Amino acid sequence: MSDAEHHEYRCMNCGAILKATPETIVAICEYCGAPNVISGILSEEDLYLVPSVGKGKVLDEFWRRVNTDIDLKSIASKIRPVSIDGSYIPFWLSRVKLDGEIIYRKREYDGKHVRVKRVKKSFSRAIWVDIVARRQVKHLGLRELVKRYLDENPESIKLSEMPIDRWREIKLPILNLEFDRAEAEASIRDHSIDLVRREWEGKVSDIIFFSAEVKSMTKPNLIFLPLWTISYRYGGGLYFAQHDGWSGRPLVFAEPIRAFRRIIYTLGMVFSTILGGLSGYVFLHEATSLGIFILLASLSLGYFFGKRFVSDVRVERE
Ligand SMILES: [Zn+2]
């Protein structure tokens, strides 16, 4: 450690020397368990977090999932957790209201005929927009974590109001933030427009014109959400599961794909290839909407099974 990086911090509660690196924003005292805010970016008033359950509860939920899952329960005795780690991930969250206009083409099937209509609509939309307050976060499952947080709305508390006893139990590291509130506001603004556009892309197929603008947004709030990662061994492979920290339930669960599933995926690929060939024939000879339908259906089936076939890990999002 260079001199510039070295700075001695002492615990506000008991005076013990704290372990802190330039990355640390909150150091948890090894002696008394008190959290100490170190970073200059934050004031304690800004630090809200959702209390986490402990390791034991997360492991219980892991085994509950393993023992109730159709595929996993038969191999439960061969599953070995090798590590379990949790940390607090910082998110900026803002409620954004947008107005906009969209023009798209809509196809209507009327027996054998396809009619194309031009539809113009104005819309207003209010959405939650989040950004992870870090430039590089390797974790999977962050989207799922925020989504569940917004759905379930678990209680969040100020770090300064967290009883020290709870910290002694949990002691999760708190990841530093790399975006301040002003940066967060700018990127939430941009991101909200992309999100609304993507919502429309999911609903309509042929967008000719799209515009949206932010009418209002709340000041981004910083919230630290607990995320746990369990890695486990099965056979020769290493897999992982991620759990939210407030309920301990799995969010994302990577499962080994077992032999019988591979057979199902192979059959699926073969079936959709045959269907594709058949519809190609029908399509060439008679360009009906049925032909188009079968062609599209078989292409998407082939894609679905093909994508699963190449991977030996199946990721389930709860
Ligand atoms: Zn202390």
CA 24 to ligand 1 center in whole angstroms = 16
User: Which pLDDT does position 33 carry in this prediction?
Assistant: 75
Instruction: List pLDDT tens digits, range 37-54.
Output: 876 666 666 778 898 998
Picking from 79, 80, 75, 78, the residue whose alpha carbon sits closest to that of residue 261 is: 75
Taking 50 as the pLDDT cut, the residues of the chain under it are 1-5, 310
Measured distance CA(235)–CA(248) in Å, rounded = 26
Indicate if 165 and 236 belong to the same structural domain: yes
Task: Say what the pTM is.
Answer: 0.71
Instruction: Kindly state whether residue 56 falls inside one of the protein's structural domains.
Output: yes
CA of 245 to the centre of ligand 1 (A): 24
Mark whether 52 and 102 lie in a shared domain.
yes
Give me ligand 1 centre to Cα 16, in Å.
5
Centre of ligand 1 from the C-alpha of residue 19, in Å = 11
Q: How far apart are the first and last CA of the chain?
A: 43
Q: What's the pLDDT score for residue 166?
A: 72
pLDDT tens-digit profile of 117-155? 899 999 999 999 998 887 766 667 888 999 999 999 999
User: Does residue 160 fall inside a structural domain?
Assistant: yes
CA 20–ligand 1 middle distance (angstroms) = 13
What is the CA(13)–ligand 1 centre distance, in A? Answer: 5
User: How many angstroms does the Cα of residue 168 sit away from the middle of ligand 1?
Assistant: 11
Tokens of 191: 């991101």
Residue 65: predicted pLDDT: 95
Same domain, 197 and 277: no
Number of domains into which the chain is organized: 3
Q: How far is the CA of 91 from the centre of ligand 1 (A)?
A: 27
CA of 246 to the centre of ligand 1 (A): 25
Q: Are residues 237 and 305 in the same domain?
A: no
What is the pLDDT, as a whole number, of residue 284?
61
Model pLDDT, residue 188:
94
Listed in sequence order, the residues at least 6 apart from 149 whose beta carbon sits closer than 8 Å to its beta carbon are 50, 223, 225, 244
Q: For residue 219, count CB atoms less than 10 angstroms from its CB and return exposed for 0-12, middle for 13-18, buried for 19 or more.
A: exposed
Is the sign of the CA dihedral 14, 20, 22, 24 positive or negative?
negative
Q: How far apart are CA 247 and CA 58, in angstroms?
A: 8
On whether residue 192 sits in a domain, the answer given is yes
pLDDT value of position 148:
95
Both 75 and 164 in one domain: the answer is yes
Tell me the CA–centroid distance for residue 11 and ligand 1, in Å.
5
User: How far is the centre of ligand 1, averaged over its atoms, from the C-alpha of 27 (Å)?
Assistant: 10
Q: What's the CA gap between 219 and 180, in Å, rounded? A: 12
CA 87 – ligand 1 centroid, Å: 20
pLDDT value at position 286?
59
- Give 14 Cα–ligand 1 centroid separation in angstroms: 4
User: Domain limits at 307?
Assistant: 259-313
Contact between 278 and 290 under an 8 Å Cβ cutoff? The reply is: no
